[in-house]
Structure 1
Amino acid sequence: MASSTQSLVDLANDILKGATTLQEELAKEKLPQPSFTLDGLQSYHDVHFNPVAMDARTKLIEAARTIYTLALGPSDALRIIANTERMRVNTLRALHELSIANAVPVDGSISIDELASKVGAHPNPLRRVMRLAYTMHIFREPLDQPDFVAHTSMSALLPTMSPYLWLQLSDNTQMQASSWQLPWGLRNWPRPPINKSDGAGRDFWTIIRDDEPEGRGMSLFAGAMSTQMQSMHGTNMRHVAVSFDWASLGEGVVVDIGGGSGHLSIPVAQEFPQLHFVVQDLPKNEGSANELIKAAGLDARMHFQPHDFFTPQPEAESVPKAYLLSRVLHDWPDEDCVRILTQLLPNLKRGAKLFLVERVVPSRPGEVPLHQEAQHWVLDLMMYSILGGCERSRDEWQRLLHTVDEKLRLRESQVMPGSELSAMVVDMGL
């Protein structure tokens, strides 16, 4: 059977074409070129709305990942997945937990011995950890300063990413351990592997609530979600503001269910002054939400409301114009999603819309570039491992909605500009 794999030369040509186009588009936008130096491009957020640049970037990533795997060959590629990638994750965890990035001067360097003293580590294993980190372009050893450490563009970002790294890598969250128990999960469906990884068989939310000192778990989780969204889309979250027709709602109230600290609602409220927002989440998020709302100057049009989304919606003077659920439903299996959505039915039947921000995974292989598809399934297995949840295809979203009420319709679904997530609009069909 003839192979459908592109040749190394064809892939190399695709890389050259994609790199050339991307470099030219960055120059047109007057943005820095990609580099590991501190003055290089920090993210692609500023070109998310440039389709030529983003298409070139996607094709460049796809060709580069494919040619890298082919150049390794099957045996080396499998070996790297089994040991190299695992040790890279463990190295990142060590850098995060020892706050190495905070101890290295932003505009200078520090010796390994002094760095070890500052973070409470022994210089021998620290030196070995740093050597692997250098190969990942996380920190560097200056050419004229052997045994010294300096920042790269990647290492300089570690403090900003700290909440997300805590969520992914900390023992307290059990996220790494639950992924390691995936084989157990395949034999014990529908129980999520986290039930095996935690000695007491607790669920993720109980672990987060109970294993962080001073009850900080839920606020840390909200911070991690905010950090993740900022790393995907930038700090202004404009993708949510442009992906739904907020203006068509006119004046009225939007309820952001499971909205954490309001990090998604705030930029929408700033752009659409005719709307008022209610951010609903568990009481422990109230303090951080009120701080963000006040800092944004939105006290008059936005407030936090403690609420458990498994319970009926609080009574209101008028029907909300829309409910926003962003990355909530993927946390839960179908039966729990039905419980959540059922609480909204009375007002959906009275004309409220439902705006969903979630992944819409492909129905079959090849519908999206392979590296994007891989990210979808990574998140899908992560949701199952720690929560019993899942990512869903468009048909699966529609089936879920029909389970809640056969008149619920998925009217629109589009990938948001520069995002891995989709914007979906749901209402009651006529």
Structure 2
Amino acid sequence: MASTAKFEVLLTLHNLPPPSFEPSTFAKLPPSEELQQTQTTILEAISELQALVLGPIGMLRSNALMYIDLISLQAVCHFKIAESFAEEASYTQISDKCGLDEPTLRRIMRQCMTNYIFKEHDNMITHTAASKLLSENPMMRAWAAMICEESWPAAARTVDALERWPKSQEPEHTGFALAKNTSVPFFVELGKSATRAKRFADAMSMFESGHGSAISALLKHYPWGAIGKGTVVDVGGSHGSRGIAIAENFPSLHCIVLDLPEVVADGPSKIPSDLKSRVTFAAHDFFTEPPEVVKAADVFLFCRIFHNWSDKYSIKILRSLILALKYGARILISDICLPEPHALPSAL
């Protein structure tokens, strides 16, 4: 109760309305560490309480049935249901627009409503905050579609991959390879399609803005200002959202974003005009020696790169930097890691 009360007070201080499912609610929290920490405390308590109330059988059943939610979300993305109407529409109107038969559409949308996506009154459909976001925000649509179309099928075949290729460290021996019937690694397969590659890059940009993945945390927890006038290389930096943020907050820094050619092709269009001289892009495969342009860099940043690769290939990525490192250059790794035992809520 104390945390929820504090959360309400903090929302008021930031001129935000109380949480709501209405489209007018806030889409995400502002970059306030106190507000985000309070949110995390509440969510951890909710998760622990739900597990205790459900009991072990109920909790396992609930977790196992989560795939149903992904089915409906995938259908919403695939058939463009959320963006098929602006404010209000009937099932018939949405069916005609999406090309999905009305009985199936009803089942999909009503299942979504159990997760507060869409709402219905007198057979008319209107948006909730979540469906409005899917309707209006291309980055959010890219994130949801990428999870449903790429990550979820891969996750469903991961155990099969572990059984087929035990102890393998090869990037093509994965659930993704089985799900997509390919013999090449994830990023190589995505690179075959400009559409899929762009969707992945857009999804990662959306991920950057989420709580727990916020660029603000990266800016706060490394002494960028101590570099002075220098160069930061964001290895695997996608469309440059981190490079832009670093350049905006530290005017003495120049940021070079490295990524595959099909990814960085769209990068320059994302850069604000006043930063174009300080945020640049170069095509690069990080298993090879970096281009000449980065060989005097002060910091090489790897943000959420190594969790995608086995030890064998992570070592190869780092070794490829050797000829590019000047004396005193730093390698900065920011990635997902498991917490120490008992660092999470007491139930864990």
TM-score, length of structure 2 as denominator length: 0.89
Q: How does 1:267-278 map to 2 (within 5 A)?
A: 267-278=245-256
Structure 2 residue aligned with 1:207: 189
Q: 1:352 to 1:291 in 2, by over 3 A?
A: same
1:257 to partner: Cα distance? 1.1
Residues 247-287 of structure 1: CA deviation (Å, up to 9, x unaligned)? 11111221111111111101110121111121111111233
For 1:119, the equivalent position in structure 2 comes to: 98
Q: Which runs of 5+ in 1 are unaligned?
A: 1-15, 374-430
SS in 2 for 1:216: helix
* Conserved? CA contact 1:62–1:370, under 8 Å: no
Q: 1:164 is matched with which residue?
A: 143
Render the CA deviation track for 1:14-46: whole Å, top value 9, x for unaligned.
xx22211211222222222111112223222x1
Correspondence list, 1:35-50, <5 A: 35-44=20-29, 46-50=30-34
Find the residue that maps to 1:224 and give its secondary structure: helix
Which residue of structure 2 lines up, in the alignment, with residue 87 of structure 1?
A: 68
Is 1:26 aligned with 2:11? yes
Relative to structure 1, is the Cα distance of residues 56 and 220 closer, same or farther in structure 2, using a 3 angstrom cutoff? Answer: closer
Aligned mates of 1:126, 1:318 — CA distance in 2: 55
CA contact (8 A) 1:240 1:268 kept: no
Specify the code of the residue in structure 2 equivalent to 1:127: R
Tell me: CA distance 1:248–1:126, structure 2 relative to 1, closer, same or farther (3 Å). Answer: same
In 2: Cα distance, 1:251 partner to 1:288 partner: 27
Partners of 1:322 and 1:86 in 2: CA distance? 41
Are residues 304 and 66 of structure 1, via their aligned partners in 2, closer, same or farther at CA, if it must alter by over 3 Å?
A: same
Answer yes or no: is the 8 Å Cα contact 2:297–2:325 preserved in 1.
Answer: no
**Equivalent position of 1:360 in the other structure:** 337
- CA deviation after TM superposition for structure 1 residue 326, in Å: 1.1
Q: Is the 8 A contact 1:177 1:194 kept in 2?
A: yes
In the alignment, is the contact (CA less than 8 A) between 1:194 and 1:202 conserved in 2?
no
Specify which of 284, 287, 298 is matched with residue 307 of structure 1. 284
Pairwise mapping of residues 220-239 of structure 1 onto structure 2 (< 5 A)?
Answer: 220-232=199-211, 237-239=215-217
The answer to whether the 8 A contact 1:279-1:303 is kept is: yes
Are 1:61 and 2:62 matched, yes or no?
Answer: no
CA distance in 2, matches of 1:202, 1:315: 28
User: Is the CA contact 1:255–1:278 (under 8 Å) kept in the aligned structure 2?
Assistant: yes
Identity %: 26
Cα distance in 2 for partners of 1:329, 1:317 equals 20
Tell me how many residue pairs correspond in the alignment: 339
Please tell me the residue identity of whatever aligns with 2:322: L
Counterpart of 2:130 in structure 1 is: 154
In the aligned structure 2, how far is the partner of 1:259 from the partner of 1:343? 17
Is 1:181 matched up with 2:157? yes
Deviation of 1:316 (Å): 4.4
TM-score, length basis structure 1 = 0.73
Query: Shift of the alpha carbon at 1:347?
Result: 4.7
Match for residue 385 of structure 1? none
* CA RMSD of superposed structures (Å): 2.3
Q: Deviations over 1:191-245 (max 9, x none)?
A: 32223333344321232123x3xx33323221111111123479x9333322221
Q: Is the 8 A contact 1:104 1:149 kept in 2?
A: no
Offset, 1:49: 2.1
Report deviation, 1:299. Answer: 2.1
1:130 aligned partner, one-letter code: M
Secondary structure, aligned partner of 2:317: helix
Match of 1:264 among 242, 264, 267: 242
With over 3 angstroms needed to count, the CA separation of the structure-2 counterparts of 1:370 and 1:278, relative to structure 1, is farther
Say if 1:79 and 1:317 are closer, same or farther in 2 by CA, change over 3 A.
Answer: closer
Q: Retained in 1: the 8 A contact 2:235–2:301?
A: yes
- Contact kept? 2:77, 2:144, Cα under 8 Å: yes
* Cα distance between partner residues in 2 of 1:317 and 1:56: 40
Provide the C-alpha distance between the structure 1 equivalents of 2:304 and 2:314, rounded to a whole number of angstroms.
12
In structure 2, distance between residues paired with 1:286 and 1:323: 17
Q: Select 2:303's aligned residue among 298, 306, 326.
A: 326
